């Protein structure tokens, strides 16, 4: 993985792995059962419920992308989340972010009603210390969240969790491993909804496990056949979306007369900071490094300013503040451009008055025989 790019790895995922046929592109195995070459011998595949060659390619790719030990693909989104929680004993307690995908929240409520688990919800997952109990087993977070798109500092949450011996479960659906790798930031378990960015619509959910005591304790997923070929296009889809966004903001800056690199970098930073995802400084700088390299160094100097950092913190805290360059932009909108001469006002002639509409009359015969004119 270190010798090739992620894009190249995804494009070649599963290729040239069929020694019997020499197929360049990995086939889709739809077989339910697999024969054994002899008594007591196995090819590693017995029944598709326990293992499938196509699914193995998908799981291997997911583990590599997340820098995890093993990936597991399941048949539905909620089954993957249930799989993650199945490794914990009954009566375990969990701390979860309050803003969650509705399906996750309903599943947690159902577990509480049945007496299996208990949950405490916090507005800011970083403030988990007061919610931790003696039987707390893990912290569950989404970042960005669904639907409010709130971001959480995974490294900060993981640091607190590790001090109390807790695992960290992260739903990484919206960012995917190309933009965010929770395992590298200290998380233990990562879940993905594959109907968003990862693979294609034939895969509902994929789950990555890391640092588990025994692989068998999570090998309970029963799933349908998976098709990892959709992952070939993951990098272009995610990367092109971010590239288009940065190009759009730069064009907006130019329309607002932001011609210098400093002004354009400031304008784009403000747009990124005020997005619902509330990007942190590291994410913003990475966006510039990847998609606006000509403004990368300018952005780095701008983000290093203490006044800018304070303003960004206030914006992310929900305070109604404006960045300095935004105020300048409002002033510029009221000033005419010096290089464009003001057009002479053209005196328009008043429109001629319209003649009154003519009225037409018809005669209506009443039952009495009398006629009466009625305007029409």
Q: What is the pLDDT of residues 64-78, one digit of tens each?
A: 888 888 888 887 778
Instruction: Tell me which of 309 and 118 has the higher pLDDT.
Output: 118
* Lowest mean per-residue pLDDT among 138-147, 185-194, 286-295, 334-343: 334-343
Average pLDDT of the residues in 309-334 = 63
Q: State mean pLDDT over 299-313.
A: 86
Specify the range with the lowest mean pLDDT, choosing from 78-92, 153-167, 312-326.
312-326
- What is d(CA 91, CA 233) in angstroms, rounded to the nearest whole number? 42
Q: Does the active-site annotation cover 214?
A: no
Q: Could you confirm whether domain 6-224 is CATH 3.90.930.12?
A: no
**What pLDDT score was predicted for residue 222?**
33
The pLDDT tens digits of the residues spanning 92-115 come to 999 999 999 999 999 999 999 999
In this prediction, residue 211 carries a pLDDT of 35
Decide: pTM greater than 0.85: no
pLDDT value at residue 367: 61
Q: For the chain, give the mean pLDDT.
A: 76
How far is residue 223's CA from residue 215's CA, in Å, rounded to a whole number?
A: 17
Range in 112-121, 161-170, 325-334 the model is least confident about: 325-334
| Most confident stretch, 3-17, 83-97, 197-211, 342-356 | 83-97
Pick from 13-17, 261-265, 333-337: least confident: 333-337
Q: Is 49 a catalytic residue?
A: yes
Of 17, 196, 227, 300, the catalytic one is 196
What pLDDT, on the 0 to 100 scale, is given for residue 2? 52
Residues 234-255, mean pLDDT to the nearest whole number: 78
**Angle, CA 21 vertex, CA 16 and CA 25 arms, to 5°:** 35
Res 138: pLDDT: 95
- What are the sequence ranges of the domains in the chain? 6-224, 236-334
What's residue 204's pLDDT?
36
Q: Between residues 115 and 372, which one has the greater pLDDT? A: 115
């Amino acid at each position: 993985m270190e010798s090739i790019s992620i894009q190249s790895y995804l494009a070649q995922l599963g290729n040239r792995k069929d020694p019997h046929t020499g197929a360049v592109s990995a086939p889709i195995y739809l077989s339910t059962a697999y024969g054994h070459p002899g008594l007591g011998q196995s090819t590693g595949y017995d029944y598709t419920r326990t293992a499938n060659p196509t699914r193995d390619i998908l799981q291997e790719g997911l583990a590599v992308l997340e820098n995890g030990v093993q990936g597991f693909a399941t048949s539905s989104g909620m089954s993957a989340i249930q799989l993650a929680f199945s490794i914990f004993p009954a009566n375990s307690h969990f701390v979860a972010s309050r803003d969650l995908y509705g399906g996750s929240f309903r599943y947690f409520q159902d577990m509480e009603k049945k007496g299996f688990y208990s949950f405490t919800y916090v507005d800011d997952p970083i403030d988990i210390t007061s919610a931790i109990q003696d039987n707390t087993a893990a912290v569950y977070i989404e970042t960005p969240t669904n639907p409010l798109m709130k971001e959480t500092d995974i490294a900060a949450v993981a640091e607190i969790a590790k001090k109390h011996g807790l695992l960290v479960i992260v739903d990484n659906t919206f960012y995917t491993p190309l933009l965010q790798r929770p395992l590298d930031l200290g998380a233990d378990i990562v879940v993905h909804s594959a109907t968003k960015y990862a693979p294609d619509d034939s895969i509902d959910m994929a789950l990555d496990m890391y640092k588990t005591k025994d692989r068998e304790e999570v090998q309970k997923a029963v799933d349908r056949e998976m098709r990892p070929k959709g992952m070939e296009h993951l990098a272009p889809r995610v990367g092109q979306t971010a590239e288009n966004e940065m190009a759009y903001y730069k064009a907006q800056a130019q329309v607002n007369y932001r011609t210098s690199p400093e002004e354009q970098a400031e304008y784009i930073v403000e747009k990124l900071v005020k997005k619902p995802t509330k990007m942190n400084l590291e994410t913003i700088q990475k966006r510039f490094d990847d998609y606006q390299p000509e403004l990368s160094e300018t952005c780095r100097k701008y983000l290093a300013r203490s006044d800018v950092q304070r303003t960004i913190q206030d914006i992310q805290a929900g305070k109604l503040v404006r960045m300095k360059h935004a105020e300048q932009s409002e002033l510029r909108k009221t000033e005419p451009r010096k290089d464009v001469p003001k057009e002479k006002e053209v005196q328009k002639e008043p429109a001629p008055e319209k003649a009154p509409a003519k009225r037409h009359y018809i005669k209506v015969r009443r039952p009495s025989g009398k006629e009466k004119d009625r305007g029409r």
